[in-house]
Structure 1
Amino acid sequence: MSALGIVLMLAWPLLFIVPPASGDVPVRTGVRVASYNINAGVGVDGKFDLARTVAALRGLNADVIGLQEVDVHWGERSGWRDVAGELAGALGMRSYFAPIYDLDPPAAGKPRRQFGTAVLSRYPIFESFNHSLTRVSAVDPGAGPVSVPGFAEVGIRVGGTPVHVYSTVLDTQSDAAVRRRQVEETLKVLGEDGGHQVLVGSFNAGPGASELAPLWGSLTDAWAAAGGGSEGLTYPAQTPDRRIDYVATSRQTAALTAQVPNVSGSDHLPTIADLQVMEGAQVP
C-alpha cells in the first residue's frame, strides 16, 4: 500500500466531519465499502485459516463488506463451518448470506451444504434479498446456463439515507456470453431499486471488457474514479496481473478514495472504496 493509502486509512474517521446542514444543502456522509472474494477462507498456501481471514477483514476497517465464495457447512475444505456466520460474529457485524447452492446435508441431522455470497455490515440491515442470475452450475456443469440465486442485496441506512448494497460473482468462463447476460440481469435488478446503490464483487473480467460496458453506463467504477497510482490489480493475490474485483456506485454516491490492500487470506486481494453519500440529495 502507498504512503498516501496508509494515511487515508488511518485518517478515515476524520474524513467526513461535516458542519450541520442549513437550508436545502444536502449533508455528506462517509462510508467505507469493501469487496473481498475470500475463496472459502483458503489462502494461496492452500490452507483454510478462518482466523487469518478475520484478521484480513478487520484490517480493512470497512463499514460494509461484500464477500464472495463463502462456505456455510459446505465441506471439508472449510471444516464444515459456517464461515459467513463466524466472520460476522468475530467482527461484530450484521450479516446476510445468499446461497448460490443449497444442497442436502451429508448425513441426517446435519446442516445443509451451502455456498454463495454475503454482505457484512456495521449498520442495521432493514431488508435483504437473494436475487437470481443465469449461471453455469459448478456442481452440475452439464446442465448448461440456468437461473439460480446467489446475488445478495441488503438495504442499510447511512445517516438517514437508504443505501442498497449488492454482492455478486460473475461467471469465470473465457466465453463472455454468460457474463454478458448476468450484467443485463444485474442492471434489471438495480433498476427496480434506484437511489443510492453500491455493487461489489468479482466480475471475472477486466474493466475494459465489452460485457461489462453496460454497467458503466449507469454505475461508476470506484477505482477508475478515485484509485491510487497503481492499476488496482486484484488477482492472483501473490502476483496480481488483472483487476477483476470491484466496488461500483450509482451516480448519487461518490468515490473519494480506492485502495487494493496487500493482505493474505485468499487467492484474491480485496478492494476498498471510501464513499460519500449525499443525504437529502434528489434521487431520480
Structure 2
Amino acid sequence: MEEQNSLGVISTTVMSYNIQHGVGMDGQLNLQRIAAVILDSGVCIVGLQEVDRFFSDRSDYKDQAKEIASLTGYHYVYGANLDFGQVGGLAENSQYGNAIVSKYPILRSDNILLRSFGEEQRGMLHAVVDLDGIHVNVYNTHLGLDARSRLAQVEEIIDLVSRSNQPSILMGDFNTEPESPEFQRLLESGLFVNSFQDMENVYTFPSTSPTELIDYILISPGIKHQNQHVVQTEASDHLPIVVDLVFR
C-alpha cells in the first residue's frame, strides 16, 4: 500500500520476513512463493533474513535477493554476513545474509558486521529509501543465538541508529522474546517503538502452530503505525509480519 495526500502525509506498508533461503515447511525451495507472499500482502518495503547468494545447491546457487526483486519488480540491496569465497570453481562468492527489497528507490546502502564472539557472523543491512521525498533509514538484521551476542549487537545498533536524525525502521529476526533484556534495551534507548506492542497472538515461529515471538518491526517514535498483522503462510519456517506506517 502506498498513499500520499495533499498535506504531504505518506503512508506505506512494511514487512519483515525470515525466508529460510526460500524453503517452505514442505521442504521445497520456491522463491516464486516468497515473492507471491510479498505481492499479495501489498507491502512496499521488505526486510528479508536468511537469504542465499550463490550459496550452495540448497538454493540452486541463485542470487536470491536479485531473483526476488525481479519477481516483484522491486529495487533491492544485499548484505553478506557470511562469505566463503569462490567455492567449487564458481565464479561468484558463496554468501549468506540479509536483503532489503523496496518499491521505492534505494539511495544508498551499507552492511555493518556486528560483534559475534566467534559464533555465526551477524550483521545489519542499512538502506536509505526515498519515500516520495522523505528519506527513511531502513535497517534489517538477524541477531545472534545467545544473549551475550545479542546484548552487544543491540548496543552497536543503538549507536549506529542514533547518528541519524532521519526517521528509521529497524526490523528483523531478533532471536529473542519481547521481555528479554536485549529487546527492552532497544526500547529504553528512546530510538524505537515496537509497532506490535501489546498485541496478542502475534507469534512468528515456527510457521506451523507458532509459539514464539522473535520477529519485529521497530520504528522511530514519530512514525504512526496501524493495521499490524501476521501473515499466515508456510512458505518459510517463520511467519512474516506486516504494518502500515504513516510519515509526515
TM bucket (normalised to shorter chain) is over 0.9
Aligned sequence identity (%)? 30
The two structures, once aligned, show a CA RMSD in angstroms of 1.7
Match of 2:79 in 1: 98
- Higher helix fraction (1 or 2): 1
Structure 1 gaps of 5+ residues are: 1-11, 22-26, 137-143, 279-284
Q: Aligned to 1:240, what secondary structure does the other structure show?
A: coil
Relative to the length of structure 1, the TM-score reads: 0.82
Distance across 1 between alignment mates of 2:165 and 2:23? 36
Q: Aligned to 2:245, what secondary structure does the other structure show?
A: strand
- Which residue, 85, 109, 123 being the options, matches 1:150? 123
Q: Is the 8 A contact 1:56 1:264 kept in 2?
A: no
Q: Does 1:67 align with 2:15?
A: no
Match of 1:211 in 2: 182
After TM superposition, list the pairs within 5 Å mapping 1:10-29 onto structure 2.
12=1, 16=3, 18=5, 20-21=6-7, 27-29=8-10
Distance across 2 between alignment mates of 1:245 and 1:220? 14
Q: Is the 8 A contact 1:52 1:264 kept in 2?
A: no
After TM superposition, list the pairs within 5 Å mapping 1:93-172 onto structure 2.
93-135=74-116, 144-145=118-119, 150-172=123-145
- Quote how far apart the aligned CAs of 1:46 are: 2.0
Match of 1:181 in 2: 152
Distance across 1 between alignment mates of 2:14 and 2:57? 30
Letter in 1 for 2:52: D
Letter in 1 for 2:132: G
- Which residue, 178, 203, 224 being the options, matches 2:197? 224
Distance across 1 between alignment mates of 2:77 and 2:204? 24
Match of 2:16 in 1: 35
Match of 1:251 in 2: 221
After TM superposition, list the pairs within 5 Å mapping 1:258-269 onto structure 2.
258-269=228-239
Distance across 2 between alignment mates of 1:108 and 1:159? 43
Cα displacement string for residues 66-100 of structure 1 (whole angstroms, at most 9, x for unaligned residues): 00000001011111111111000110000000000
Q: Is the 8 A contact 2:204 2:210 kept in 1?
A: yes
Higher Rg: 1
Letter in 2 for 1:66: G
- Quote how far apart the aligned CAs of 1:51 are: 1.9
